[in-house]
Amino acid sequence: MAIDLSLPPEVQALVDRTRGFIREHVLPLEDAHDGDITAAGGDRFRVELQQAARDAGVFAPHAPVEYGGHGLGMCDRAPVFEEAGYSLFGPTALNIAAPDEGNVHMLAHIANPEQKQRYLAPLAHGEVRSAFAMTEPAPGAGSDPSALATRAVRAEGGWRINGTKYFITGADGAGFFIIMARTSGEPGQRGGATMFLAPADTPGIRVGRHLDTLDRSMVGGHCEVFFEDLLVPESAVLGEVDRGFEYAQVRLGPARMTHVMRWLGAARRGHDVAVAHVAQREGFGSRLGDLGMIQKMVADNEIDIAATRALLTRACWELDRGEPAANATSIAKTFAAEAIFRIVDRSMQMCGGLGVSGDLPLARLSREVRPFRIYDGPSEVHRWAIAKRAVGAAKRALREQ
Ligand SMILES: Cc1cc2nc3c(=O)[nH]c(=O)nc-3n(C[C@H](O)[C@H](O)[C@H](O)COP(=O)(O)OP(=O)(O)OC[C@H]3O[C@@H](n4cnc5c(N)ncnc54)[C@H](O)[C@@H]3O)c2cc1C
């Protein structure tokens, strides 16, 4: 088995350019606004940041080349996205923030030529933002997508959609929505979901309140969205009717891994800040970094960073081969979401009072990475799925004996 972890020269060059752009241009802006993208100017700020990224030649590393991107596969995306994630504003600057980055990926794979022209092209170029509307208040879809309650029923010339969603990232100010709605079956049944595309100004789409979540780095908030007799034409169906859950997997596997890449960059920044601090701060007759219990935290951070990268590489390799990589992405996502939180938490601890203050970026990194243990599948749901596969395989092996 040949293993070669070196990057193609053009990818290495993009990694280096991204690192320079993020550190020189983006980090000072993040620090000036305490990582709060709304306070920094929201969409107006996003447009300025993205122009700067275009000028630096680092815009849209993920998007297909014909839509103005660099066309990177998953393995090549990983180091670029990690560099972008070093600043909380970096992913927005490069147009690789959630949910737009995942939506670009899904539209590139599933949309028809007309839909690509209408939705994918402006999204990939950063002319509009998008939202992916799946989660619903109880008793609707959450960890269990089969609880999907938003309904789409056939109407003259298309479909009529009714339902309520919440936690919809970027909904306020989005140019269009990808809506997951039930077209057959009942809540609780597997299957029967369809994805629809709808411009945000279509009558029947209403964006409600922003849920006041911990994080502050995503443009357009996490919102309630109401679909009230929303009428969409037949051409709004993304892919085929009743195959929505299947398509969600096309989006979710890679989207989980790109979250890992970005948040790993944020964790690495936290670790760098902490190591620099303990290398110079003195106490009890030595540098803090020479004390055993601090060294344990430094080493555990290094181990968590290396292990996250290794699991990510494995999952990206499977995805690049066209495999669903369901187990590998579940394993990498679960480990990474928890490891990244541990890294940032240890980094705060090593910096003492400064760690929880606004003088260092650690407190804001902590508030940003915590929700990752919940979205894209809570840790418990991934563990449940991983265990079910393992036990299922053991049962099959027993039957075959
Ligand atoms: C910041 C943020 C952004 C988001 N953005 C979007 C978005 O853009 N679009 C969108 O559609 N959704 C979005 N979501 C919603 C997210 O996908 C859901 O929060 C997630 O799927 C969990 O669903 P839930 O909140 O309904 O939790 P529930 O399904 O109610 O689960 C609650 C808890 O129960 C436990 N649990 C659940 N199932 C199991 C199980 N099988 N075994 C053991 N324990 C279990 C877990 O601990 C879980 O955290 C976002 C959420 C957040 C926090």
Task: List average pLDDT for each run of 10 residues in the chain, which is 401 residues long.
Answer: 91 98 98 97 98 98 96 97 98 98 95 98 98 98 96 96 98 98 94 97 98 97 98 98 92 94 98 98 96 98 98 97 96 98 98 98 98 97 98 97 89
Q: Whose CA is nearest to atom 25 of ligand 1?
A: 142
Ligand 1 atom nearest the C-alpha of 165 is 11
pLDDT for the residue numbered 251: 86
Query: Distance between CA 348 and CA 258 in Å, rounded?
Result: 25
pLDDT for the residue numbered 327: 97
Ligand 1 in reach of 99 Cβ (< 6 A): yes
Ligand 1 in reach of 135 Cβ (< 6 A): yes
pLDDT for the residue numbered 249: 86
In 222-291, alpha helices (H)? 244-280
Query: Chain centroid to CA 101: how far?
Result: 8
How many C-beta neighbours within 10 Å does residue 330 have? 22
Query: Distance between CA 52 and CA 25 in Å, rounded?
Result: 8
Looking up tokens 């990194």, which residue turns up?
Answer: 365
- Residues in Cβ contact with 269 at an 8 Å cutoff, skipping those fewer than 6 apart: 86, 87, 361, 365
Ligand 1 atom nearest the C-alpha of 138 is 26
Residue 35: φ, ψ to 5°: 70, 10
Residue 211: φ, ψ to 5°: -75, 135
Adjacent-strand bridge partners of 165: 225
pLDDT for the residue numbered 250: 85
Tell me the per-residue pLDDT of 199-233, one tens digit each, with 9 for 90 and over: 999 999 999 999 999 999 999 999 999 999 999 99
pLDDT for the residue numbered 365: 98
What sign does the dihedral 168-171-174-175 (CA atoms) show?
positive
State the helix-helix crossing angle for 326-350 and 362-369, rounded to 10 degrees. Answer: 150
In 86-118, alpha helices (H)? 90-94, 100-110, 113-115
- Tell me the two tokens of residue 42: 């929201």
Ligand 1 in reach of 119 Cβ (< 6 A): no
pLDDT for the residue numbered 11: 98
Query: Distance between CA 176 and CA 188 in Å, rounded?
Result: 28
pLDDT for the residue numbered 53: 98
Ligand 1 atom nearest the C-alpha of 213 is 1
**Number of H-type helices and E-type strands within the chain:** 14, 10
Ligand 1 in reach of 384 Cβ (< 6 A): yes
Residue 187: φ, ψ to 5°: -50, 135
Ligand 1 in reach of 169 Cβ (< 6 A): yes
Tell me the per-residue pLDDT of 158-187, one tens digit each, with 9 for 90 and over: 999 999 999 999 999 999 999 999 999 999
Ligand 1 in reach of 166 Cβ (< 6 A): no
Q: Whose CA is nearest to atom 30 of ligand 1?
A: 142
Q: Where are the beta strands (DSSP E) in 157-283?
A: 158-169, 176-182, 193-199, 205-210, 222-233, 237-238, 282-283
Looking up tokens 């003088």, which residue turns up?
Answer: 359
Ligand 1 in reach of 120 Cβ (< 6 A): no
Query: Distance between CA 190 and CA 146 in Å, rounded?
Result: 5
**Which of 374, 379, 382, 384 to mutate for ligand 1's pocket (most ligand atoms within 8 Å of CB)?**
374
Model pTM score:
0.97
- Tell me the two tokens of residue 137: 């208040």
DSSP-derived letter for residue 217 is: -
Residue at 102: amino acid letter: G
How many C-beta neighbours within 10 Å does residue 156 have? 6
